[in-house]
Amino acid sequence: MAKNLIFCLVILFEIVSYADQVSYQLLQNMYKIYPATGSLKDKSILEANSKQLEKYFDSNLSRLLSKDIQCSKKQGVCKLDFDPIYASQDPEIKSIKMIDNQTTIDVSLFYIGQNCPIKIIYFFDKKEGKIHDIKYQDGLRLLKILN
């Protein structure tokens, strides 16, 4: 019985580790596709269509983001007045540091000309393995802003 319990715990640990790895890779890929280097070639996540958003965000958050993006195309600024993955209106990043905390991933964004990083925390949907919410340094959460 003890052997079965240990085996189950090892399998559970491997599943959690794999999910963490997938979430970490998802963020790495998102920041690679949507860089903020200050170049005119940079693409913003706010330019993404709903299909592109669904690659990174769970169904609820991608729907809310897509709705806000469509609103801003018609009316200017709607609920979001900043790039949600950079917590900035005009991001210029020199480096990004990510720390996997098993249930969340902490991201430190080091901006050009600033000594202290901006810190944001990503929460993931366990079922979809995608971003469920983002908590910003000031305590605000993306879901609350968009709702």
Can you tell me whether residue 60 is helix, strand or coil?
A: helix
Quick one: the chain helix, strand, coil %, rounded to 5?
40, 20, 35
Indicate the pTM of the whole model: 0.82
Does the domain at 2-146 match CATH 3.10.450? Answer given as yes
User: What residue ranges do the domains of the chain occupy?
Assistant: 2-146
Average pLDDT, stretch 104-133? 89
Rg (CA), the chain: 17
User: Which burial class, exposed, middle or buried, applies to 79 when counting CB atoms under 10 A from its CB (0-12, 13-18, 19+)?
Assistant: middle
Alpha-carbon torsion angle 5, 9, 11, 17, nearest 10: 180
Neighbours of 84 (CB within 10 A): 21
What pLDDT score was predicted for residue 20?
59
Lowest mean pLDDT among 3-7, 40-44, 78-82, 86-90: 3-7
